[in-house]
Amino acid sequence: MDLPPATLRPRNMPHLLSPQQVAAYHRDGAVWPVRVMSEVDAQGYRRALEAHEAKSGEPLQGNWRHKTHLLFTWADALVRHPKILDAVEDCIGPDILCWTTNFFIKEANSPGFVSWHQDATYWGLEPDDVITAWVAFTEVTPENGYMQVIPGSHRIDQLPHRDTFHKDNLLSRGQEIAVEVDKSQARGIALRPGEISLHHIKLVHGSDANRSADRRIGLAIRYIPPSVRQTKVRDSAQLVRGTDRFCHFDPEPRPQADLDAAALAAHADAVGRQVKALYSGTEKTAFRA
């Protein structure tokens, strides 16, 4: 469907999502699949990541899995991808900050999993107008540990979580919901490369290990409207569409070249603030490897 330019479009007209998909996001707390690029383009992003990994001789590690868009020009392009932003705008409006990115990489036949959790638990962001665009770099299936969600759970209150710091848990603190999750209500999010899912910061979700012969790679991009506040630290973010009339976050520079000195310094500063927020109350000073 061809859409008129933004200036000619009524404000309430979706850019990419159908009205039914927008309604599903608000009702269920998640919507998928949404195709934002071709499979070939998605494979190009995978190749860009793996070219770096081949050079460094190991999978992307530790802090570099987070706010990766401040380090690499290809990741910077991805968080500004017009179709991703169109879908996000349909859900949170025309002014958009990219707050962070988190790679969720599960190696072939590996034990890494994600316990049932709500993203809102340690992020410090208020109000809960926070959306994740989860971009599939590879196929995402039940076998390779797709994300599972409890539809509608974003409308219940913040649930109590406990930290486990389990070695195979891919979350920052290995946090898990401290009460029973009714798994019979869960729905799995299968995606093709180049598709995204969108989910709300309070949606209950988790995923199992990768039992397949290939890596499963997804990049979770966290977007907020500029009206959202960080309650734990003076945080930073990047304006990717529209205007920021609030200035609750310090602006982050875009990388001019992959891993150049300015990019590394900006990334270290930004991740330092985020670690302080996410690990508050613990001794941690860096993301877990």
| Contact footprint for Ni ion (CB under 5 A) | 119
Residue 4 phi, psi (nearest 5): -70, 160
Name which of 125 and 266 has its Cβ closer to Ni ion. 125
Q: How far is CA 144 from the centre of its chain?
A: 18
189 neighbors 147 (Cβ within 8 angstroms): yes
Name which of 76 and 119 has its Cβ closer to Ni ion. 119
Minimum CB separation of residue 201 from Ni ion in Å reads 9
User: Closest residue (Cβ) to Ni ion?
Assistant: 119
Query: Over the Cα atoms of the chain, what is R_g?
Result: 18
Minimum CB separation of residue 144 from Ni ion in Å reads 17
Name which of 49 and 177 has its Cβ closer to Ni ion. 177
Minimum CB separation of residue 133 from Ni ion in Å reads 13
CA dihedral 90, 92, 94, 95 (to 10 degrees): -160
Minimum CB separation of residue 119 from Ni ion in Å reads 4
Alpha-carbon distance 261 to 267, whole Å? 10
Name which of 95 and 119 has its Cβ closer to Ni ion. 119
Name which of 119 and 208 has its Cβ closer to Ni ion. 119
Minimum CB separation of residue 113 from Ni ion in Å reads 12
Q: Please give the span between the terminal C-alpha atoms of the chain, in angstroms, as a whole number.
A: 43
